[in-house]
């Protein structure tokens, strides 16, 4: 089978081939400043080889989605899947030799990195029977294999570096050929860059990147200036799949085209200021995103129980010398709220807390029957979310929204819902950390993601970095407050 593709033309107009079979064995590194034409180059390579080999694209900016229209790549929106699902998808992609684009566009940076790493690990861990050859293209690779720690969490950095190192250093045996593009060589982890034997170097401004590029191309430092003068779409190539000597190439046209963004100048439209203002505000309310759907109705049994709790004594009659149901519940509430306010209580294990609770109940003559562990955990969560000062209807509403949440995440949800009911944009971070029993910002972010996926909250990021957290189902109660 023919394994060459034409990547572009030399200065004299002759075609420059790239040997894809060779590329699978020797990998490729592309460098160039933003706008130098890296993504275009990757697209040309992908389009021309789409019929020859399976392709997997890690696409942080949503640039490659249109490959699916022209070449049948399956589009995977990273934001729609859990980590476990992303890994499972990666395994199936290997099994079925599907060409895909993993779009990370809808995610925050750290989540983009984690999603890509999880996905790459899945590709890498596929069983031996599924080690088919595939190009794995990673655009903006400095994000996924950063040379210095930067702002991402340490565990994320380790996760992604090991995934990228696996791809570039140990992927070959498994059929995976890494093709990475970066704006700056100095920002890309050295061991990831070092594994590529083919290079395409585009326009580069900074001396440090230019020198490293010249070194990789085996050019003398004096000649490195050439790299600064390259035009958009022009690259210097070297490597077993391209050429034995540095070779200038102008990358050829593409069929699928990136998302076009108008560049250059475009005069503003000729519209009166007042008309423009009207245009922008016309039916704005209709254009704004609709309110999230209300939560499912509360199960009848729950409501009945709630009513019984609020109006006790109707259904149960205690012997005269025992505290009444109401008295007992009040005593329990007292103990719970006392415990919830104690320093460090939420950081203790549930079983320790429960033991403590049981002891206090035994010593309190007001308590008729203590709670079992399950009931205790829910009531403790409710107590630590300090809902007492809310009006009873609102409180019941908030509690009912959390009915199907597990005990360990109930308290933080209630705190979020309380903040929303009080008209705050988002809950107090410290309080959230306290009731969740964890001050790890990473854990709390994952918790919010979890609530968002399960539809318990809607997060709206606003310009200027602010955000608002909405709790679907609270609107009717809080409207007009
Ligand atoms: N070889 C080329 N031929 C035609 N247009 C190109 C070529 N290379 C890049 N472009 C155009 O230049 C712009 C920037 O290219 P892009 O690939 O997005 O750069 P980068 O990914 O390096 O930031 C895009 O609009 C792209 O279509
Ligand atoms: Mg790009």
pLDDT tens for residues 327-358? Answer: 888 899 999 999 998 888 888 888 888 889 99
Does 38 sit in the ligand 1 pocket, CB within 6 Å?
A: yes
- State the Cα–Cα distance between residues 398 and 381, nearest whole angstrom: 13
- pLDDT tens track for 41-91: 999 999 999 999 999 999 999 899 999 989 999 999 998 888 888 999 999
Which structure tokens are listed for 259?
């998302």
Q: Which of 35, 179, 180 to mutate to test the pocket of ligand 1 (most atoms within 8 A of CB)?
A: 35
Terminal alpha carbon distance of the chain: 71
Task: Determine the distance separating the centroid of ligand 1 and the alpha carbon of 258, expressed in angstroms.
Answer: 9
For the Cβ of 232 lying below 6 angstroms from any atom of ligand 1, the answer is: yes
Task: Give mean pLDDT, residues 356-362.
Answer: 90
Q: Which residues place a Cβ less than 5 A from the ion ligand 2?
A: 39
The Cα–Cα gap between 29 and 189 comes to 12
Q: What percent of the chain has pLDDT over 90?
A: 50
Q: Are 30 and 182 in contact (CB under 8 A)?
A: yes
The structure tokens 């290079």 sit at 199
- Give the model's pLDDT for residue 479: 47
- To the nearest 10°, report the CA torsion of 171, 177, 183, 187: 10
Token representation of residue 164: 């990228």
Residue 235 and residue 7 in contact, taking contact as beta carbons nearer than 8 Å: no
How far is residue 303 CA from its own chain's centroid? 37
The confidence score (pLDDT) of residue 135 equals 97
- For the chain, list the domains and their CATH numbers: 4-251 (3.40.50.300), 325-479 (no CATH)
Going by C-alpha positions, the residue among 64, 70, 338 that lies closest to residue 179 is 64
Instruction: Measure 40 CA to ligand 1 centroid, in angstroms.
Output: 5
Q: Give the pLDDT confidence score for residue 282 in this predicted structure.
A: 75
Which atom of ligand 1 approaches the CA of 44 most closely? 1
When pLDDT is averaged across residues 257-285 and rounded to a whole number, the result is 73
Does 315 score more than 70 pLDDT? no
Residues 141 and 146: their CA atoms lie apart, in Å, by 8
Nearest-atom index, ligand 1, CA of 202:
22
pLDDT value for 74: 93
Long-range contacts of 153-161 (CB under 8 A, 24+ apart): 153/110, 153/442, 155/442, 156/110, 156/113, 156/114, 156/117, 156/442, 159/113, 159/114, 159/117, 159/118, 160/113, 160/114, 160/116, 160/117, 161/189, 161/192
pLDDT of res. 387: 86
Mean pLDDT (the chain, rounded)? 87
- Which ligand has the nearest atom to the CA of 140? 2
Ligand 1 within 6 A of CB of 257: no
**Is the distance from the beta carbon of residue 34 to the nearest atom of ligand 1 less than 6 Å?**
yes
36-45, 109-118, 238-247, 466-475 — which is least confidently predicted?
466-475
Nearest alpha-carbon partner for 207 in 191, 237, 184: 184
Query: Which of the residue ranges 16-20, 90-94, 194-198, 361-365 would you say has the lowest mean pLDDT?
Result: 361-365
Per-residue confidence (pLDDT) for residue 290, from 0 to 100: 54
Decide whether any atom of ligand 1 lies within 6 Å of the 60 Cβ.
no
């Amino acid at each position: 089978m023919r394994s060459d593709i034409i990547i572009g033309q030399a200065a004299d107009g002759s075609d420059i081939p790239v040997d894809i079979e060779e590329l699978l064995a020797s990998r490729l590194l592309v460098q160039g400043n933003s706008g130098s034409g890296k993504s275009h180059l990757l697209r040309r390579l992908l389009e021309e080889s789409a019929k020859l080999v399976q392709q997997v694209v890690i696409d942080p900016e949503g640039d490659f989605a249109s490959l699916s229209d022209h070449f049948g790549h399956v589009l995977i929106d990273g934001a729609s899947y859990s980590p476990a699902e992303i890994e499972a998808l990666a395994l199936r992609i290997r099994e079925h030799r599907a060409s895909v684009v993993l779009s990370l566009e809808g995610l925050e940076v750290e989540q983009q990195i984690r999603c890509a790493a999880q996905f790459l690990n899945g590709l890498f861990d596929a069983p031996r029977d599924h080690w088919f050859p595939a190009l794995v293209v990673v655009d903006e690779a400095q994000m996924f294999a950063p040379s210095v720690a930067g702002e991402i969490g340490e565990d994320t950095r380790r996760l992604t570096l090991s995934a990228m190192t696996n791809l570039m250093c140990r992927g070959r045996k498994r059929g995976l050929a890494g093709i990475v593009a970066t704006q700056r060589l100095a920002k890309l982890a050295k061991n990831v860059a070092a594994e590529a034997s083919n290079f395409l170097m585009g326009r580069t401004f900074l001396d440090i990147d230019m020198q490293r590029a010249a070194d990789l191309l085996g050019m003398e430092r004096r000649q490195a200036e050439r790299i600064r003068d390259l035009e958009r779409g022009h690259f210097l190539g070297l490597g077993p799949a391209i050429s034995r000597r540095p070779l200038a190439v102008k990358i050829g046209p593409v069929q699928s085209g990136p998302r076009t963004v108008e560049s250059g100048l475009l005069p503003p439209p000729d519209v009166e200021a007042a008309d423009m203002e009207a245009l922008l505000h016309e039916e704005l309310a209709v254009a704004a995103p609709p309110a999230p759907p209300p939560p499912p109705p509360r199960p009848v049994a729950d409501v009945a129980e709630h009513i019984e709790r609020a109006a006790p004594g109707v259904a149960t009659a205690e012997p005269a010398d025992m505290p009444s149901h109401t008295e007992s519940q009040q005593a329990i509430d007292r103990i719970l709220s006392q415990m919830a306010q104690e320093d460090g209580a939420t950081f203790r294990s549930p079983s320790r807390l429960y033991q403590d609770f049981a002891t206090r109940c035994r010593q309190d003559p007001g308590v008729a029957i203590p709670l079992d562990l399950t009931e205790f955990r829910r009531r403790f969560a409710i107590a630590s979310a300090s809902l007492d000062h809310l009006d009873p209807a609102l409180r019941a509403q908030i509690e009912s929204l959390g009915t199907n949440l597990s005990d360990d995440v109930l308290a933080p949800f209630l705190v979020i819902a309380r903040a929303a009911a009080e008209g705050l944009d988002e809950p107090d971070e410290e309080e959230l950390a306290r009731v969740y029993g964890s001050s790890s910002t990473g854990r709390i972010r994952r918790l919010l993601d979890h609530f968002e996926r399960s539809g318990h909250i809607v997060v709206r990021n606003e310009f200027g970095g602010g955000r608002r957290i909405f709790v679907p189902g609270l609107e009717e109660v809080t409207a007009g407050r």
